[in-house]
Amino acid sequence: MDSGQKGKSCWLFGKKLFKKQLAEQKMVDDLDQHLKNLGTNYRIEWYADTDHGFVFPKRGSIYDKASAEKHYERLLSLFERNLKRKTL
């Protein structure tokens, strides 16, 4: 979700695990509402049917190429928008 609000930035990546769910939906919903109330610019992403470490090719069957590419594309975009050195 993208709050579309300005303010402090926060980027959260969540995993809804195929075998085990690390965060219950209510917990994520509560966090989502709290960040909205604070006016935080944030994004929560769920990568369905992935396991912890899904972005690392050496993790064997846990690696999920499509999800990993999406994750890194979004993460690098975040870095580009927020960490790029501004010219004076």
Query: In this structure, is residue 2 part of a structural domain?
Result: no
- How does DSSP classify residue 2? B
25 in a structural domain: yes
pLDDT value of residue 21: 63
- pTM for the model: 0.64
| DSSP output for 6-58 | -SSEEEEEEEEESS--SS-HHHHHHHHHHHHHHT-EEEEEEEEEE-TTTT-GG
Q: Which domain holds residue 73?
A: 9-83
Q: Domain for residue 40, yes or no?
A: yes
Domains of the chain: total? 1
Amino acid symbol at 17: L
Is 1 inside a domain boundary? no
Residue 3 lies in a domain: no
Spans in the chain with pLDDT lower than 50: 1-9, 11, 14-19
Q: What pLDDT digit, counting tens, does each position of 40-55 carry?
A: 888 888 887 888 888 9
Burial classification of residue 23, based on how many CB atoms lie within 10 Å of its CB (0-12 exposed, 13-18 middle, 19 or more buried): middle
